[in-house]
Amino acid sequence: MILENRPQGVVAGSIPLFAGHPSHELLPIAGVQRAVEAIWRGGGVTRLFDYGDEQGNAQLIEFLVERLNRVESLGLRRENLMIIGGSTCGVDMICDQLTRAGDVVLVDAPSYRDALHIFRDHHLEIRDIDIDESGVMVEEMERMLRALAAQGRAPKFYYVVPNFQNPTGITLPEPRRRAIIKLSRRYGFAIVEDDVYNDIRFGDDLPPSFYALADGENVLRLGSFSKTLAPGLRMGWLIASAGRVAGFVGSGLLTMGGGANPFTAAITAEYCRSGAWETHLQWLRGQYQQRRDIALAALDAAMPAEVSFTRPAGGYFIWLRLPPSVRVDELAERAKQENLYFAPGAGFFVNPADGARHLRLSFSFLPLTDLRGGIEILGRLVREMSA
């Protein structure tokens, strides 16, 4: 059988409002080509065809350490950062190193669907904690921790997408971050901060990261080039204590296969070194902001008043809550008849029934006319079903 190349399940000719990856017209293909040519001109490409250093490409590590220290005043040393094959790889490595089957991990309700998938792959017991319009509710987390402690149990980590969360687009405010760090110290769990949307922000500065607020203590922070450069490069980074980074670098995964993707890491390093990434980022933020504005205006015009939705200040996603009369699975079925696909809420919860009235839309992937047109169709279907 010859398999078609369908990025993340996108069906040709459809309107994939679910697709949470960059629109192809936003990929800096010419810039990456220039980086490749510069590497070739510079000579010494043979080493890129060999296994790489376990911690990852040294130039890229240096670039990221310098940038993060400059922009966020983090005080990172080289030993605190390693290159990984995307944030996904980091989540999997963290499960591998920090957990055993049956351990408890905490997540938000809702949380990033594919991270839940990885936790299930590792046979972890996932407990999800309710959110409100500002993100996870700290009192609920404390209640959960007390209940676990009463059974002699403690979670291994809390997994959080702190900025422009997938799927809601919500950014967790600083006081809640500080309160969660206090809980992590009292109950002895790590914080896994999956910060892949950090650089897709449309306005003011973000709250300090968990890593910054905790002075790096017991926090593992993930970053990625997937949203700001290209997911196909499979490039990201992990920040943690020097001891933890050394643990990952010495793992069987890396001693056997070497560091992450030496070939694309060298291209990424050259792209960043030349200043192209910063220029691209400035442009990209404007592009995504325009898409967010178009999506929100289309929702305002198309949806009946009983539908509520988030207004994200960055990232890729808008989270919708439907009126009780509209079942999301039925809506998905009707949308499919119109060649329209969105992400139903069920997949983002530990208990799928909790997502029965929610859905996630992404404004990152579609051409502008499809984005507007897709939301108009969705609005019409919701009106018909709630009438």
Ligand X SMILES: Cc1ncc(COP(=O)(O)O)c(C=O)c1O
**Which residues in this chain contact ligand X in the complex, by CB under 6 A?**
20, 86-88, 112, 161, 166, 194, 196, 224, 226, 231, 236
Going by C-beta distance under 8 Å and a sequence separation of 6 or more, which residues neighbour residue 367? 23, 25
Distance in Å, CB of 234 to ligand X, minimum: 7
CA-to-CA distance for 320 and 74, rounded, in angstroms?
A: 35
CB-nearer residue toward ligand X: 192 or 302: 192
Distance in Å, CB of 179 to ligand X, minimum: 22
Distances, alpha carbon 169 to alpha carbons 27, 83, 252, in Å? 22, 26, 36
Using alpha carbons, select from 339, 332, 343 the residue that is nearest to residue 169: 343
- ω into 175 cis (within 30 of 0): no
CB-nearer residue toward ligand X: 112 or 342: 112
Phi, psi of 170 (to 5 degrees): -80, 145
Distances, alpha carbon 81 to alpha carbons 208, 256, 337, in Å? 18, 20, 47
Distance in Å, CB of 210 to ligand X, minimum: 14
Distance in Å, CB of 236 to ligand X, minimum: 4
Which two tokens mark 348? 């983002």
Burial class (CB in 10 A: 0-12, 13-18, 19+), 140: middle
Distance in Å, CB of 325 to ligand X, minimum: 31
Which two tokens mark 263? 């070939």
Distance in Å, CB of 87 to ligand X, minimum: 4
CB-nearer residue toward ligand X: 107 or 382: 107
Which two tokens mark 209? 């990261």
Continuous segment of H or E residues that includes residue 87: helix 87-98
CB-nearer residue toward ligand X: 222 or 382: 222
Q: Is 160 helix (H, G, I), strand (E, B) or coil?
A: strand
CB-nearer residue toward ligand X: 7 or 286: 7
Distance in Å, CB of 209 to ligand X, minimum: 14
CB-nearer residue toward ligand X: 63 or 317: 317
Q: Is 240 helix (H, G, I), strand (E, B) or coil?
A: coil
CA-to-CA distance for 179 and 171, rounded, in angstroms?
A: 15
Using alpha carbons, select from 148, 150, 173 the residue that is nearest to residue 160: 173
Using alpha carbons, select from 165, 46, 151 the residue that is nearest to residue 104: 151
Distance in Å, CB of 167 to ligand X, minimum: 8
Going by C-beta distance under 8 Å and a sequence separation of 6 or more, which residues neighbour residue 43? none
Distance in Å, CB of 37 to ligand X, minimum: 25
CB-nearer residue toward ligand X: 68 or 303: 68
CB-nearer residue toward ligand X: 103 or 194: 194
CB-nearer residue toward ligand X: 76 or 115: 115
CB-nearer residue toward ligand X: 194 or 270: 194
CA-to-CA distance for 336 and 329, rounded, in angstroms?
A: 11
Distance in Å, CB of 191 to ligand X, minimum: 15
Residue of minimal Cβ distance to ligand X: 86
Amino acid at 281: L
CA 298, 10, 111, 315 torsion: positive or negative?
Answer: negative
